[in-house]
Amino acid sequence: MKITTKVLFLDDDGQRFFGDGPYQLLLGLEKTGSLRQAAAEMGMAYSKALRLVKQAEKGLGYALTARHIGGTAGGGSRLTPQGKEFLQRYGAYKAACEQADAQLYLEYFSGQR
Amino acid sequence: MKITTKVLFLDDDGQRFFGDGPYQLLLGLEKTGSLRQAAAEMGMAYSKALRLVKQAEKGLGYALTARHIGGTAGGGSRLTPQGKEFLQRYGAYKAACEQADAQLYLEYFSGQR
């Protein structure tokens, strides 16, 4: 048995705008240079991927991604500097939460299943 | 902006068997004395509620709920003593994780949105 932690960011209306799904998607975008390809690798519809990115950008109040056109690869997307910084920070925060919650698990469930 | 934490329990195959949904459902069962009513109050299909309870019981290896039949209310379900204890423990654990993760949020995102 294992535990896993998901940390969700909610706007003031209680709507989710960031979490593990968008995080994985944006990591994929950084790796592939394409939101469409990043979505496909997660088995996610491109329309959903676009919506997740827009929701995240609206919630945070700044652009996480930028499109570029042309070039040999026919254009694509990349993270903005702010987007890169946010992803790094979120990744570190998520890891810290996972560690803290795993430690608490031992405290609350020691000797239990 | 707020954050919220979800802690999921996974079996050895990585399948989720407990989290916030089953927790809320079982709290509702405790309150109403009926899994069907608890599911309805969450807008959840009864078949899904049954499946969640079975998955949780399989993952934990013991019964969380017991049915009773007859009586003026025509029977229903209640938590087993082990079920009650697990719910209490999970609730306390979840609250501790939320507090720890909120504290970490301040640490990782102070001065940020």
ipTM of predicted complex: 0.84
Whether B89 sits inside 8 A of A112 (CB atoms) is yes
Q: Is A33 on the interface with B (CB under 8 A)?
A: no
Report the distance separating Cα A100 and Cα A85, nearest Å: 23
pLDDT of residue A38: 96
Q: What is the mean pLDDT of residues B49-63?
A: 96
Closest CA in chain A for residue B96: A104
Q: Mean pLDDT, chain B, as a whole number? A: 91
Task: Give the pLDDT band (50/70/90) at residue B112.
Answer: low
Q: What is the mean pLDDT of residues A66-81?
A: 80
User: Per-residue pLDDT tens for A29-61?
Assistant: 999 999 999 999 999 999 999 999 999 999 999
Closest CA in chain B for residue A103: B97
Q: Is B33 on the interface with A (CB under 8 A)?
A: no
Residue B70 has pLDDT above 90, yes or no: no
pLDDT of residue B86: 96
Whether A93 sits inside 8 A of B112 (CB atoms) is no
Whether B8 sits inside 8 A of A3 (CB atoms) is yes
H-assigned helices in chain A: 20-32, 35-41, 46-60, 81-109
Report the distance separating Cα B97 and Cα A62, nearest Å: 29
Query: C-alpha dihedral over A104, A1, B105, A52, to 10 degrees?
Result: -160
Q: Is A14 on the interface with B (CB under 8 A)?
A: yes
Whether B97 sits inside 8 A of A10 (CB atoms) is no
Q: Mean pLDDT, chain A, as a whole number? A: 91
Q: Is B8 on the interface with A (CB under 8 A)?
A: yes
Residue B72 has pLDDT above 90, yes or no: no
Contact A38, A31 (CB under 8 A): yes
Q: Is the pTM of this model over 0.95?
A: no
Q: Mean pLDDT check: name the lowest of A7-21, A28-42, A58-72, B93-107.
A: A58-72
pLDDT of residue B104: 95
